[in-house]
Structure 1
């Protein structure tokens, strides 16, 4: 078991895990409305801030992609009228290419995944909601690190606070879509929803039964865990935070709980 620890900063606390040596943190609702530019000094003062405009996909951007996209959006005059904040290029993850880069994602109930290479020091962050998870965004982020020399045995992955499977009700269509990401290509199902009993009967199942017809409970972090193991990571390289955004209103925003667009940030810095 890996130790999850609350670290104090500015009179508040953010969550870390001893699986990853790089400076990182899962920040809570208490830090709202602070942005990555405000929070990065808690992890590594002076680190370059990398973030994207999240759109529930599986695009993971490099620092160069983010800089170029942001520059072109600024040149085009794209800004949020109410705040005059710069718009960032669309993507649901980012990765580092050198030391001193802080990769950030924001979430409410979706899974914030922080990835570290303990040998090269490089990192990545991914926003893994059910849509991004269905499109394997965390394996996509890992592929970006592999493209610059990372080896699977050197990677460590933290799946941060998110809505827990026992309280996340979804329709069978959603469950079938995300379930396709963890079945073998040679497993054939006559109908897409036939995958549901298959997943319900697994050891440590990613789906749980629900009393409402046509619905199940979905554990998105468990789906990500299965994807990582299928990729070749061992369970010892993965840690899941023992916190649920939906069930801990004193610590986390939850869209499913309040239906308000409020988010918390998660970041990790390359070394």
Structure 2
């Protein structure tokens, strides 16, 4: 099956893609392009899937670089294929031929590019990472490689949308403790529940970091099981595990 890859003109001319679950070798609950080595999927299937992604990005599999994501604000600057997988949630590079990638299943995959400087970035930004500053940290790491934040374009890929993201009062309080103005990213729900707008919050944090062009592709992971994996949908269905989507960018 042909791979289904979402791209954005904002990131041109950098080669990039928000890969959907279509076109992979995994089966069962992981059916499709599961690229999550941390899942209970067959490791051989995950390797095949990652090799297909690398091929689509025109790099060797060992040059498809990922990290061990931990919902942190930490960024790794990549100049060569990594030994092992350091704990971090974003990567930046100015090295042609290296494809940097992050994995998601409702959290925001964010790809960055400063075409003039030749610097790209990729960030995993769930609510915790976005709140703790991973997006601003990615911009700062790109600047250290010669990028300028007013030239950086950033695109948020398929993520859980507000209509599917119900949260409780403790979640809301975490945001209020950081900044009461963040209340505007919440809408009323049933009882004491609220609906959180993760992509809108991500766009806000990108603009606060000085990114001049920030967009969301508009795809909701929860609402489209044919194209996307979703941790929350898996939880609601009582399934044992879930696949991970991969988002990649390279010079």
TM range (shorter): 0.7 to 0.9
Write the deviation string for residues 167-192 of structure 1: whole angstroms up to 9, x where unpaired. 201122223324555x4xxxxxxxxx
2:131 corresponds to 1:150: no
How far off is 1:59 after superposition? 1.2
- RMSD of Structure 2 on Structure 1 (CA): 2.0
Counterparts of 1:16 and 1:53, CA distance in 2: 24
1:251 alignment partner in structure 2: 227
SS of 2:219's partner is coil
1:105 alignment partner in structure 2: 102
Counterparts of 2:99 and 2:176, CA distance in 1: 32
SS of 1:153's partner is helix
SS of 1:67's partner is coil
Write the deviation string for residues 104-162 of structure 1: whole angstroms up to 9, x where unpaired. 00000000000111111211111101111111111111110011211112100010000
Distance 1:65 1:102, change over 3 A: closer
1:7 alignment partner in structure 2: none
2:120 corresponds to 1:123: yes
Counterparts of 2:49 and 2:133, CA distance in 1: 26
How far off is 1:36 after superposition? 3.7
2:78 corresponds to 1:63: yes
1:51 alignment partner in structure 2: 66
1:233 alignment partner in structure 2: 211
Counterparts of 2:145 and 2:65, CA distance in 1: 18
2:248 alignment partner in structure 1: 267
Alignment TM-score, normalising by the size of structure 2: 0.82
SS of 1:150's partner is coil
Q: Which runs of 5+ in 2 are unaligned?
A: 25-32, 35-47, 236-240
Counterparts of 2:5 and 2:161, CA distance in 1: 19
Distance 1:242 1:250, change over 3 A: same
Distance 1:139 1:24, change over 3 A: same
Work out the number of aligned pairs and report it.
222
Distance 1:42 1:66, change over 3 A: closer
Matches within 5 A, 1:130-169: 130-169=127-166
How far off is 1:210 after superposition? 1.1
Q: Which runs of 5+ in 1 are unaligned?
A: 1-9, 71-87, 184-194
Counterparts of 2:248 and 2:188, CA distance in 1: 33
Distance 1:221 1:65, change over 3 A: farther
Alignment TM-score, normalising by the size of structure 1: 0.76
1:208 alignment partner in structure 2: 187
- Match 2:173 to one of 167, 171, 176: 176
Counterparts of 2:182 and 2:139, CA distance in 1: 25
Write the deviation string for residues 47-98 of structure 1: whole angstroms up to 9, x where unpaired. 8221101111111112259724x2xxxxxxxxxxxxxxxxx22111111131
SS of 2:4's partner is strand
